[in-house]
């Protein structure tokens, strides 16, 4: 079967999933590192764990999690215990994401330690080819890279878009973030060189924004949002095409995106040729009752 990008559908193996999960772990690492100048280097922690990354920046950050485990053996109990204590010191639950193609022994190990399944997220992908690099254009829409003068417009666009999600017939997210939380996170990543940002313009109006990150030949599509007044006008498709073409020209062979199951975002990328590669199980170990946030220094 051929996708809308002209590439054959993907067959995902454990090796490919491990490559994608390593890329995902580096996103967590990059986001936490970008927060250090504002939060304080001594308050942010980033640790390696069984081929993955554990990070914590500050309360309310989506980078507070463990990602990428399951493809390099079971985590050492002492190492995971140290990380869990760091989360407890900060008054936070511990969240771990585990691919359905990871070693099942990892999930069994985590459940024995008190982790509970709270949700899933889907990882979709599409192969990139020389044809993808050509891209396509929509005369009604312009996709431009974000310059320094456009930082505020990009922030306002993606945050407003995230704060007004489309309704869909699927499970609700297990977490939500305030506008202040999102603004801090996205502001931090503006200084991170690994994240590239784009704005979609309809005429003289900003309609949407998105990000691209390239790692190990994988194009990670993230931070995509359309302002409510501009939805159903092809904005997300235009942002998607532009980023795929950019990634293909740089030699990427794969593009991936993470979505809520059955969400509009998943529907949009599947219409464009993305296929479901695997799911991630979201497991959480709740902080002990009565734990108090410490003054972490």
Supply the CATH number for residue 150's domain: 3.40.630.30
The whole domain housing 80 covers: 14-122+281-285
Q: Are residues 163 and 248 in the same domain?
A: yes
> In the prediction, which pLDDT does 135 show?
56
Q: Are residues 111 and 131 in the same domain?
A: no
Tell me the average pLDDT of the chain: 89
CA dihedral (122, 24, 272, 189) in degrees, to 10, reads 120
Q: Are residues 137 and 238 in the same domain?
A: yes
pTM: 0.89
**292 within a domain of the structure (yes/no):** no
Q: Are residues 105 and 148 in the same domain?
A: no
> In the prediction, which pLDDT does 220 show?
96
Q: Are residues 105 and 137 in the same domain?
A: no
**8 within a domain of the structure (yes/no):** no
**3 within a domain of the structure (yes/no):** no
**234 within a domain of the structure (yes/no):** yes
**145 within a domain of the structure (yes/no):** yes
Contact criterion met (CB below 8 Å) for 43 and 58: yes
d(C-alpha 87, C-alpha 90), whole Å: 5
Helices 179-190 & 14-39 angle (0-180, nearest 10): 100
Regions in the chain scoring below 50 on pLDDT? 1-4
Q: Where do we find the tokens 């005369």?
A: 139
pLDDT digits (tens, 9 = 90+) for 72-118: 999 999 999 999 999 999 999 999 999 999 999 999 999 999 999 99
**39 within a domain of the structure (yes/no):** yes
Question: Quick check: helix, strand or coil at residue 132?
Answer: helix
Chain centre distance of CA 4: 23
Q: Are residues 81 and 134 in the same domain?
A: no
pLDDT digits (tens, 9 = 90+) for 112-156: 999 999 999 999 999 998 777 665 566 689 999 998 899 999 999
> Based on the structure, what is the number of domains in the chain?
2
Q: Where do we find the tokens 């194009």?
A: 219
Q: Are residues 130 and 274 in the same domain?
A: yes
> In the prediction, which pLDDT does 2 show?
42
Q: Are residues 265 and 193 in the same domain?
A: yes
Q: Are residues 224 and 247 in the same domain?
A: yes
Q: Are residues 83 and 179 in the same domain?
A: no
Q: Are residues 96 and 202 in the same domain?
A: no
**Phi-psi map region of 10: left, alpha, beta (phi>0 left; psi -120 to 50 alpha):** beta
**9 within a domain of the structure (yes/no):** no
**226 within a domain of the structure (yes/no):** yes
Q: Are residues 132 and 79 in the same domain?
A: no
């Amino acid at each position: 079967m051929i996708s809308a990008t002209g590439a054959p559908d993907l067959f995902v193996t454990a090796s490919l999933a491990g490559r994608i999960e390593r890329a995902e772990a580096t996103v967590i690492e990059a986001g936490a590192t970008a927060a250090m100048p504002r939060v304080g280097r001594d308050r942010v922690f980033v640790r390696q764990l069984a081929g993955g990354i554990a990070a914590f920046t500050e309360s309310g950050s989506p980078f507070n999690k463990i990602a990428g485990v399951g493809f390099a053996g079971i985590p050492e109990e002492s190492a995971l215990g140290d990380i869990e204590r760091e989360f407890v010191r900060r008054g936070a639950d511990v969240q771990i994401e585990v691919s359905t193609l990871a070693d099942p022994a990892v999930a069994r190990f985590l459940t024995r330690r008190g982790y509970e399944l709270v949700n899933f997220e889907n990882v979709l992908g599409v192969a990139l080819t020389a044809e993808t690099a050509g891209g396509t254009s929509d005369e009604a829409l312009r996709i431009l890279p974000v310059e320094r003068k456009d930082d505020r417009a990009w922030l306002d666009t993606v945050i407003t878009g995230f704060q007004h999600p489309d309704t869909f017939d699927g499970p609700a997210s297990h977490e939500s973030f305030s506008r202040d939380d999102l603004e801090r996170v996205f502001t931090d990543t503006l200084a991170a060189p690994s994240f590239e940002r784009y704005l979609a313009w309809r005429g003289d109006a900003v309609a949407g924004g998105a990000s691209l990150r390239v790692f190990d030949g994988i194009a990670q599509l993230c931070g995509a949002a359309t302002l409510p007044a501009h939805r159903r006008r092809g904005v997300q498709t235009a942002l998607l095409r532009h980023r795929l073409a950019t990634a293909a020209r740089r030699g990427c062979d794969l593009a991936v995106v993470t979505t809520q199951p059955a969400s509009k975002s998943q529907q949009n990328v599947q219409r464009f040729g993305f296929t479901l590669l695997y799911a991630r199980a979201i497991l959480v170990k709740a902080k002990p009752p009565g734990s108090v946030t410490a003054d972490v220094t």
